[in-house]
Amino acid sequence: MSPVPVAAAGSPAAAAPQLPGAAPPPAPSRLQGARQSLAVLLPLVIAVVVFALLNSTFLRYGNLTLILNTLAFVGIVAVGQTLLISAGEFDLSVGAVAALSSYVAAALVVREGLPLLLGIVVALLIGAAFGAFNGIVTTRLGVPSFIVTIGTLYIGRGLTEYISHGVSIYPLPSALTDVGLQRVASISLAVFALLAIVVAGELLVRRTAFGRRLLATGGNAEAARVIGVDVNRTKVRAFMLVGVLAAVAGLFQIASLGTGDPAVGTGWELTTVAAVVIGGTSLFGGTATVVGTLIGVLTLQVISNGIVSAGLETNWQTVAIGALMIVLVAIDVLRRKAFERR
């Protein structure tokens, strides 16, 4: 669960960067890893204890499965966001991409009578296309990803509204809705898909050359170029991966809803970034912990569910998440400054 690190610029390790196919950087010490794991788990543990004390039904199985089933969609996107942030960029268009890709798929299948598989493929291609556009504009034109992806957020939402006119598509094919409604011990298939994606993402970061290139790019882009990493291509691929996962999450959500809803993905932009930060991945790039992001998503959903189940004002959810993000980013900044002084 500890983030996979890349040496900071100016450190002894950075003077001899790793080749893309070489062994990964040395793992943090056991003490450091334990501290990082505690920092990730502590907010979740505190939230669970507090809400369990406030509401005796909070820890009941039905409520716990509700939490899991609700977090699955944003969790899928958060995995991709983790990989992109580890490369030093982030994507604020993910919710709009999820909405547009899933709505287009629903429209093609229901209104145009195309095969479901073709609709799914088109949705994935839309996600990849948005990701490629975000990546190319960011890397080739030098426009900050913050600006680029806010622009594509508006483009995606605008196109969705133009196509949908605010009207949902119903009914969806049973082959799709069956996936969304299927449960194993009251847990949706989307949760199992999320777990598989988390495992794949963690293996990608820790065991593949592409994962090492992501971390090298986010840790020190210039040093990565010196050792032969194509930084621009690496970032574009990471953007495309986020776009595809946003489309996957959108498809799972409309399958769960049973309708093609143009409002799919609303609010996912900042929620995924918050989950990544809470999970222990640095916003400055160069580290990644996909399992930590899963814990971050779970923490956010526990806070959201707990506030509602305890009868508190829902506005406190936003306050709690915002305060938690500020604290954790501040800790990351202080940690980096301490490292630079060594």
| pLDDT (0 to 100) of residue 4 | 61
pLDDT at 85: 96
Backbone phi and psi for residue 184, each to the nearest 5 degrees, phi listed first: -120, 110
Per-residue pLDDT, 16? 37
Mean pLDDT of 7-26: 42
* Mean pLDDT confidence for 171-181: 93
Write down the pLDDT at residue 10.
40
Report cis status (omega within 30 of 0) of the bond before 171.
Answer: yes
Tens digits of residue pLDDT in 221-272: 999 999 999 999 999 999 999 999 999 999 999 999 999 999 999 989 989 9
User: Is 0.85 surpassed by the pTM of this model?
Assistant: yes
pLDDT the model gives residue 339: 62
Contact at 8 Å (CB) between 281 and 293? Answer: yes
DSSP designation for 154? H
Give the DSSP per-residue string, 216-273.
Answer: HHHH-HHHHHHTT--HHHHHHHHHHHHHHHHHHHHHHHHHHHTSB-TTTTTTHHHHHH
Averaged pLDDT for residues 169-195: 94
Burial class (CB in 10 A: 0-12, 13-18, 19+), 289: buried
The predicted structure's pLDDT at residue 22: 43
What integer pLDDT is reported at residue 222 of this predicted model?
93
Enumerate residues 6+ apart whose C-beta is below 8 A from 109.
115, 116, 118, 119, 172, 173, 176
Q: pLDDT-based confidence at 18, cuts 50/70/90? A: very low
From residue 273, alpha-carbon distances to 90, 139, 257, 318 in Å are: 8, 20, 24, 14
- 203 CB-near residues (< 8 Å, 6+ apart): none
Residue with tokens 């799914």: 120
Instruction: List, as one string, the DSSP characters of 67-84.
Output: HHHHHHHHHHHHHHHHHH
Strand 183-184 and strand 187-188: the pairing is antiparallel
Q: Which residue reads 């999970």 in tokens?
A: 279
Task: Place 11 in a pLDDT band, splitting at 50, 70 and 90.
Answer: very low
Indicate the range of 20-29, 122-131, 185-194, 296-305 predicted with least confidence: 20-29
- Supply the pLDDT for residue 331: 73
Indicate the average pLDDT of the chain. 88
Going by pLDDT thresholds of 50, 70 and 90, the confidence category of residue 12 is very low
Element (H, E) at 43: helix 30-54
DSSP structural state of residue 171: P
Q: Is the pLDDT of residue 184 over 90?
A: yes
Neighbour-count burial of 71, counting CB atoms closer than 10 A to its CB (0-12 exposed, 13-18 middle, 19+ buried): buried
Q: What is the pLDDT of residues 57-89, one digit of tens each?
A: 999 999 999 999 999 999 999 999 999 999 999
Q: What is the pLDDT of residue 43?
A: 86
Helix (H) or strand (E) run with residue 205 in it: helix 189-207
Rg (CA), the chain: 20
Best CA proximity match to 253, nearest among 199, 181, 160, 192: 181
Nearest one of 298, 262, 278, 279 to 202, comparing CA atoms: 279
Residue 326 amino acid letter: I
**Rounded CA gap, 284 and 219, in Å?**
8
pLDDT at 328: 73
Q: How far apart are CA 293 and CA 242, in angstroms?
A: 14
pLDDT above 70 as % of the chain: 86
- Residue-wise pLDDT for 119-168, tens only, equals 999 999 999 999 999 999 999 999 999 999 999 999 999 999 999 999 99
Task: For residues 191 and 292, give the distance between their C-alpha atoms in angstroms, rounded to a whole number.
Answer: 16
- 277, 300 in Cβ contact below 8 A? no
Looking at residue 317, its pLDDT comes to 73
At residue 6, the pLDDT reads 52
CB atoms near residue 237 (< 10 Å): 20
